[in-house]
Amino acid sequence: MAKTALVVGASGIIGSATAALLVEEGWTVHGLARRPVDQPGVAPVVADLQDAAGTAAALAGIDPDAVFLTTWLRQDSEAENIRVNSAMVKNLLDGLRPTDKARHVALVTGLKHYLGPFEAYGKGALPQTPFREEQGRLDVANFYYAQEDEVFAAAARDGFTWSVHRPHTVIGKAVGNAMNMGTTLAVYATLCRETGRPFRFPGSAAQWEGLTDMTSASQLARHLLWAATTPAAANEDFNVVNGDVFRWKWMWGRIAAWFGLEPAPFDGTILPLAEQMQGDDQIWREIAARENLAEPDLSRLASPWHTDADLGRPIEVVTDMSKSRRMGFTGYQPTDDAFFDLFARLQADRLIP
């Protein structure tokens, strides 16, 4: 039987991959965004989730079997992150009432559930790695927890099932996204190749030497669909990563080789991308004009601050997926392949030369 989905944040890295998979699987897909982009098979829904009345009006007549919440808005403080992002979840779920249809709501958060919000990221007492779902919440305010609480409250009120998905850093394609390591590294490598600057790892020795993992957007999309259609996965929280582990001192060379670069030696000194790429806007505009690229605005492609937060962490971060495996999810994707697939898509779409 055909099913209907509402993908919230459909123009983002996670939302666009999820919408594409659902279309491929034969679902009727509505994609909600403030500024929708053209997506084959996806019916656009224009809404600002901060506007409760406008959201309800935009959702009139849409009665999805599954809702995939893949969006958030970054604010200047965690208190504001909590206020704004919890209200967005509430406005969405209130706007979908009333309904007699059995429904599943999937919420995407992330490993800041274990590492803490940006203001306290990777500091203080942290759970041991690999992170496991039963480790629960830190004793610190976190907008992820506030989002979860809105979903839990609405589920108790309206009777739908839910799942929470915690990816590590997501690799995928989207323009104008605030957290986009893959495209940031592609742009950085392109700038290094253009200017002759060394392709230097910007992060910490702990990240360079330690084990880590990541999550491709396609892997996360498969996990979201699996949880929405697997009864045993109802009302559960899940970590979701690609399934492999690696060290950045290996991956950095793999990425360098893809762009025809030699990786620079790493001496253990942190040199953030925000510093290395400062003032590169004009260089990128010149590259874009010469190569006829689709996006000349560097700020819409690269998010150095977010990549610096990930690669500068002073601790090893790996994630356990045993809970999903025991329930039957077998999806896997090597992380270097995820990077290479993304780089090829960026070239095909004229976002990098």
- The answer to whether residues 5 and 67 touch, using CB atoms and an 8 Å cutoff, is yes
Ordered alpha helix ranges (H), 60-176: 78-95, 112-115, 143-158
In the chain, the amino acid numbered 300 is: R
Is residue 282 a contact partner of residue 214, using CB atoms and an 8 Å limit? no
Among 90, 114, 144, 173, the active-site one is 144
Catalytic site includes residue 101: no
Question: CB neighbours (10 Å) of residue 135?
Answer: 15
Assess whether 144 carries a catalytic annotation. Answer: yes
Least Cα distance to 238 among 83, 116, 352, 106 occurs for 106
Residues, the chain, total?
353
Query: What is the Cα–Cα distance from 293 to 285, expressed in whole angstroms?
Result: 9
Catalytic residue among 112, 114, 173, 188: 112
Q: How many CB atoms lie within 10 A of CB 120?
A: 16
Token duo for residue 281: 């806007």
15, two tokens: 């939302």
What is the token pair recorded at 186? Answer: 């592609």
Q: Which residues of 2-25 are buried (b: 16+ CB within 10 A; e: fewer)?
A: ebbbbbbbbbbbbbbbbbbbbbee
- Catalytic residue ranges: 112, 144
